[in-house]
Amino acid sequence: MTEDANAVVLRDIVKTYRRGKEKIEVLHHLDLSIKSGEFLALMGPSGSGKTTVLNLIGGLDHPDSGEVVVAGEHLTKLSGGQLAKWRARHVGFVFQFYNLMPMLSAERNIGLPLLLAPLSRAERDKHVRVALEIVGLSDRARHKPSELSGGQQQRVAIARAIVADPTIIVCDEPTGDLDRATADEILTLLKELNRSQGKTIVMVTHDQKAAAFASRQLNLDKGQIVKAMEAAA
């Protein structure tokens, strides 16, 4: 498969962290390709390197060695300013604890990524309305996070992630703080975004039931892929 057919290519990635005098290798010569339009679940025990992989894909971290190519861009070759602009255009983030601004309404939280885009106020408002409609929260636009349920807050977070029409959505335990029924609703929404809009989604999860919503699952252990499997359709 050509690189152009892939949303993400990680080649020979090594990543280490220091804990005091101890040097810990989190990723050990990792190779990973993710197709454009794929929904991938990354699983593995704590410390296996899942979140590190997510941070590399999202341009939040750099490898010690190796190559990171996302949406056709070699991230290791970008300066800090270039990387920030690239990230604003190409990556939407969804986190376990939502990361919403408590004093802002749902619509203002969703519109935050657009402040970096060359759009008029009217254009930003239109993007926000569309994102709210996609996640089914048009009637909650002016509610603050404290006035929303956990599932609704995560829907706001997903709307924020997609409002700039990013190439890829990275999700770090997006259902980890939700009950099973609400988690399934959020995962169904992510799956629909993948199917209907062709969004490439990379999700880190400890939950096998959550991973089953993805089209492919990868298991990481000690910084390497140890098992891959296709999820049920």
Please compute the mean of the pLDDT values over residues 203-232 and round it to a whole number. Answer: 85
5 exposure class (CB count in 10 Å sphere: 0-12, 13-18, 19+): exposed
Residue 232 CB contacts under 8 Å (≥ 6 apart), including other chains: 212
For residue 3, pLDDT over 70 is answered with no
Residue 98: inside a domain: yes
Residue 46: inside a domain: yes
Residue 120: inside a domain: yes
pLDDT on residue 2: 45
Please compute the mean of the pLDDT values over residues 109-126 and round it to a whole number. Answer: 89
* pTM: predicted TM-score of the whole model, two decimal places: 0.89
Please compute the mean of the pLDDT values over residues 108-122 and round it to a whole number. Answer: 88
Neighbouring C-beta atoms of residue 100, cutoff 10 Å: 23
What's the number of domains the chain is made of? 1
Residue 231 DSSP one-character state: P
Residue 162: inside a domain: yes
pLDDT on residue 116: 76
Q: Tens digits of per-residue pLDDT, 33-90?
A: 999 999 999 998 888 899 999 999 999 999 999 999 999 999 999 988 899 889 988 9
Residue 103: inside a domain: yes
pLDDT on residue 47: 83
pLDDT on residue 4: 60
Q: What is the CATH number of the domain that holds 193?
A: 3.40.50.300
Residue 22: inside a domain: no
Task: Return the axis-axis angle of helices 121-134 and 150-162, rounded to nearest 10°.
Answer: 130
Written as one string, the DSSP assignment of 141-172 is: TT--GGGS-HHHHHHHHHHHHHTT--SEEEEE
Per the structure, the complete domain to which residue 158 belongs is given by: 36-55+79-230
> Confidence class of residue 228 from pLDDT cuts 50, 70 and 90?
low
Residue 168: inside a domain: yes
Helix (H) and strand (E) counts in the chain: 7, 10
Residue 47: inside a domain: yes
For residue 230, pLDDT over 80 is answered with no
Q: Tens digits of per-residue pLDDT, 132-180?
A: 999 999 999 999 999 999 999 999 999 999 999 999 999 999 998 889 9
For residue 1, pLDDT over 70 is answered with no
pLDDT on residue 143: 97
CA 198 to chain centre: 14
> Confidence class of residue 229 from pLDDT cuts 50, 70 and 90?
low
